[in-house]
Amino acid sequence: MNLNNYVHHSNGTHIDYANGMLAQLLLALPFFLLLVVYIFAAFISSRRHKQWPIHRTIFWVLGVLCAIAVVIGPLANRAHMDFTAHMMGHLLLGMLAPLLMALAAPMTLVMRTLNVTLARRLSNVLKSWPVRILGDPIVASCLNVGGLWLLYTTDLYAMMQQNVLLHVLVHTHVFLAGYVFTVSMIYVDPMPHRSSFVYRAIVLIVALAGHSILSKYIYAHPPNGVPTEQAEMGGMLMYYGGDVIDAVLIFILCFQWFRATRPRASLAMDQCSKVSN
């Protein structure tokens, strides 16, 4: 299988240097734009309204940097040759970057910055039925985990290494599906279509299980063109790295449940004490 890679190289069917650079720039550019636009919006909105929380901006910068580190530079170069590096990229681009970016509440910032007419139009889009379907935890999980199953259990992974367009599409999908999945589970931004905690908890458990099962499957059945040792390392990285990020997701979901189910009596007492103060 190792040999296969070299054969592709000498034949030139593997993505060549120039095309590789093009793919990297194509993927990195939107993230650079997102970074600039967010910071600009935070600046404008802080001047017009009260200060936009600095920790949200920090989450956004860290999230976008995670994504950029994956799509351009040394990690992106190594990911072509080394499946473990590719898996590291998957964890950062598909899980950590979306989580950090969701915690930055970008939609709230956009709503605050836009004028009322535009903000209303945007909120109408967010309330529309396609967004509702996309944001359902089950649909989001299928797009996210299902996409990974498709990538690693078919020839798609090998094809992606040889076709620039496919490479860009797969990476875009991994990020977007990861983001939609994250915001369908934890509500940081206002969500027009909310589902109950129990529903989200059950879907989250099944989705995490799908992720764990896939990582052990990769360990045992390397995707085409991936050497056994790299598949074993990559599978274990996916399993344990996924666990760490999932733990944060679970913690936030449970914490939101904990806050929402505050006993009513103490809520009333809180308000009484506020009034009397």
Partner 1 sequence: MGRNDAKIQVLGDRMAVENVNLKNHSNDTTSSSYLARNLWSGFLFGLGLVAFIDEAVFHQLLHWHHFYDKSTTSIGLVSDGLFHAFSWFATVGSLFMLADLRRRNALRLTRWWGGVLLGAGIFQLYDGTIQHKLMRLHQIRYNVHILPYDLTWNILAVVMIVVGATLIIRARSQSQLPRGERSYEPQ
Q: At its nearest, how many Å lie between partner 1 and the CB of residue 216?
A: 6
- CA quadruple 262, 267, 269, 272: dihedral, nearest 10: 160
Provide the phi-psi class of 12: left if phi over 0, else alpha when psi is between -120 and 50, else beta.
left
Residue among 169 and 213 whose Cβ is closer to partner 1: 213
Residue with Cβ nearer partner 1 (6 or 258): 258
> Is the Cβ of residue 105 or residue 204 nearer to partner 1 in the bound state?
204
106 vs 178, which CB is nearer to partner 1? 178
Binding interface with partner 1 (CB under 8 A)? 201, 204-213, 216-217, 219-220, 235-236, 239, 243, 246-247, 250-251, 254-255, 257-258, 261-266
**E strand or H helix at 216, and its extent?**
helix 197-220
d(CA 4, CA 20) in angstroms, rounded, equals 19
Minimum gap (Å) between residue 204 Cβ and partner 1: 7
Shortest distance in whole angstroms from residue 86 CB to partner 1: 19
Q: Is 226 left (phi over 0), alpha (psi -120 to 50) or beta?
A: beta
The closest of 37, 15, 42 to 26, measured between CA atoms, is: 15
Smallest distance from the beta carbon of 206 to partner 1, in angstroms? 7
